Amino acid sequence: MVLKQIKDFLSQFGQGFKEASIDQIQRELEEMENAFALLICGSLSGMPAPPAFLSLCLLPYMERELKIMFSKTIFLDDKLAVWSDLVEL
Amino acid sequence: MNKIFFFLGKGGVGKTTLSASLAYYLREKNKTVYWASIDPAHNIYDLLSLPASPKVQKIEAGLWVEEIDVDRYLRRFLEHIQEKAQKVYQYLQILNLDKMFKVIKYTPAMEEYACLYALKEVFKKHEDKDYLIIDTPPTGLMLRIFSLPFVTELWLKELRHWREEILKRRQIVAHIKHVDFGPGAQLEFSKDKVFNELNAQQKDMQYLKDVFTNPKKTFLILVINPDKLSLLEGKRIVETLNKFGIPIKIVLLNKTGHSMELKELNFFNDLPQKKIPLFEGPFPKQVLLKIASLWVEDAYL
Ligand SMILES: Nc1ncnc2c1ncn2[C@@H]1O[C@H](COP(=O)(O)OP(=O)(O)OP(=O)(O)O)[C@@H](O)[C@H]1O
Ligand SMILES: [Mg+2]
């Protein structure tokens, strides 16, 4: 009985530990995806960045990254509109 | 494997005239020739006294001519991107392609990419011709075009590395936790469209680098005149291309007269050279063939 309690405790403890580190990786992942999108969009808004040609080639495939980027931007109003203004499209 | 000749040099030195001489020479040898200009000033048709045309024209048996319309390639590229993007981003429907074209056309390096993209298509499309002759745009633009595959490759390497790290983390997270990464998001390297696109671009850049640096396939012909400015520009061309390992096959000293005591000429001493004197115009086919006989060697062919 006691043994089982200890076992359960340990396994819960391990679970909590695993989740903490996976949450950390997940946060890191989102930061990286955000940075990737910022980098790709940089050339479209005049920041030092990879050639615009490359950015354009990648743009159709970056839905998730762009969403993360927009959700992290400091602009709280219509983010897409802000971005469109930025690239003057 | 066919061969590609590029004619480089300052404006007015004789690039178009000398590329014409090579085109006719090769035709005399019964070779098939595709002769194109990526010069926005478009002067092959002037030399041939033909009306300009956006299409490839067969001007005689075995000889095709094209004034490559770089804007058309850029537009096609943008249309292609827009089509793909619209499938993913509904809100892009409001974007106006004409407006987008105008803005993007003046984005740094866009014209260079359009030229490079055009060249790649042309190389592939005319693989069946024995020789491709390319009359180049102004020096600055052409040097940037040559450098692009090298520069772009550095970016691609960096972006690929980033992407790998992202995908690795996605895999770890997905392995332990149920997460919806959203529409289109992939875990596998082979399914991730960004990763695939980076790979495809890298393949294209590698192909262009191979073409530009293969001394058995690609011959760069530098045309200079006995005047200081064309010599300085020629020097800049040699030095820039050297950095990328792109060799110059031959230097053509065009329009030479008697006064050839320019110290700037010494720079070219280590490169194979041929002298072509001043001719009295005009330049019909017979004269062009005579000019070719002064410089073309069967060893290049
Ligand atoms: N060997 C030569 N003798 C006399 N005239 C020449 C010679 N080579 C070229 N020309 C003349 O020089 C002028 C410029 O030549 P060409 O158009 O071939 O130069 P280009 O380098 O193509 O110029 P651009 O940079 O403007 O395209 C033309 O009028 C041409 O007839
Ligand atoms: Mg010309």
- CATH number reported for the structural domain that contains residue B244 in this entry: 3.40.50.300
The mean pLDDT of chain A is 73
CB contact under 8 A, A61 and B197: yes
Ligand 1 pocket, mutate which of B16, B49, B224 (most atoms under 8 A from CB): B16
Model confidence at B24: pLDDT above 70: yes
Residues of B in contact with A50 (CB under 8 A): 152, 155, 158-159
| B247, pLDDT greater than 60 | yes
Distance (Å, rounded) from C-alpha B199 to C-alpha A10? Answer: 46
* Confidence band of B72 (pLDDT split at 50, 70, 90): confident
Q: Do B103 and A54 touch (CB under 8 A)?
A: no
Q: Which residue has the higher pLDDT, B301 or B12?
A: B12
Which chain B residue has the Cα nearest residue A47? B108
Asked which of B71-75, B117-121, B257-261 is least confident by mean pLDDT, the reply is B257-261
Give the tokens for residue A70: 């927009």
Q: Does A87 touch chain B (CB under 8 A)?
A: yes
Distance between CA atoms of residues B182 and B67, nearest Å: 46
CB-CB neighbors (< 8 A) of B91 in chain A = 80
Gap between the Cα atoms of B21 and B63, Å rounded: 13
Is residue B222 helix, strand or coil? strand
pLDDT at A20: 65
Q: For residue B233, what are the contacts with CB-CB under 8 A and spacing of at least 6?
A: B9, B10, B139, B224
Q: Report A:27-66 residues touching B (Cβ under 8 A).
A: 28-29, 32-33, 35-36, 39, 43-44, 50-54, 56-64
Average pLDDT over residues B38-47: 75
For residue B196, what is the nearest residue in chain A, using CA coordinates? A58
Q: What is the arithmetic mean of pLDDT over B155-178?
A: 93
Sign of CA dihedral B42, B43, B48, B49: positive
Q: Which of B5, B10, B17 to mutate to test the pocket of ligand 1 (most atoms within 8 A of CB)?
A: B17
Interface touch B88/A61, C-beta < 8 Å: yes
Interface test with B, best of A17, A56, A69 (most B CBs within 10 A): A56
* Whole-prediction pTM: 0.86
- Tell me the mean pLDDT in the region B128-151: 94
Q: Which residue has the tokens 């005579």?
A: B290
Query: Over the range B206-228, which residues count as b (16 or more CB within 10 Å of their CB) and which as e?
Result: eebbeebbeeeebbbbbbbbbee
* Inter-chain touch A25–B87, beta carbons under 8 Å: no
Q: Which atom of ligand 1 is nearest to the CA of B39?
A: 27
Read off the amino acid at residue A3: L
Tally of domains in chain A: 1
What pLDDT digit, counting tens, does each position of A45-85 carry? 656 678 888 988 998 898 888 888 878 765 444 555 555 55
Average pLDDT over residues B253-267: 86
One-letter identity of residue B293:
S
Contact B170 A29 (CB under 8 A): yes
Q: What is the mean pLDDT of chain B?
A: 90
Report residue B52's pLDDT band, with 50, 70 and 90 as the boundaries: confident
User: Could you tell me the pLDDT band of residue B65, with boundaries at 50, 70 and 90?
Assistant: very high
Position B146 scores a pLDDT of 96
Q: Comparing C-alpha atoms, which of B296, B293, B258, B263 is closest to residue B277?
A: B258
Per-residue pLDDT of B112-139, as tens digits, reads 999 999 999 999 999 999 999 999 988 9
**Distance (Å, rounded) from C-alpha A79 to C-alpha A61?**
19
The whole-number pLDDT of residue A52 equals 84
pLDDT above 50 for B39: yes
- In terms of pLDDT, which residue wins out, B195 or A80? B195
Q: State in Å: Cα B44 to ligand 2 middle.
A: 7
Decide: B39 in ligand 1 pocket, CB within 6 A: yes
Comparing alpha-carbon positions, the chain B residue that sits nearest to A23 is B173
Q: B97 is in which domain, residue-wise?
A: 3-300
Q: How far apart are CA B112 and CA A54, in angstroms?
A: 13
* pLDDT for the residue numbered A89: 47
Count the domains in chain B: 1
- Greatest mean pLDDT among A38-47, B38-47, B107-116 lies in B107-116
The nearest CA of chain A is from the CA of B35 a distance in Å of 27
A60 or B277, greater pLDDT = B277
Nearest-Cα distance to chain A for B148, in Å, is 10
What confidence score (pLDDT) does residue B61 get?
94
Q: What is the pLDDT of residue A10?
A: 59
Q: Which structural domain range is residue A79 located in?
A: 2-88
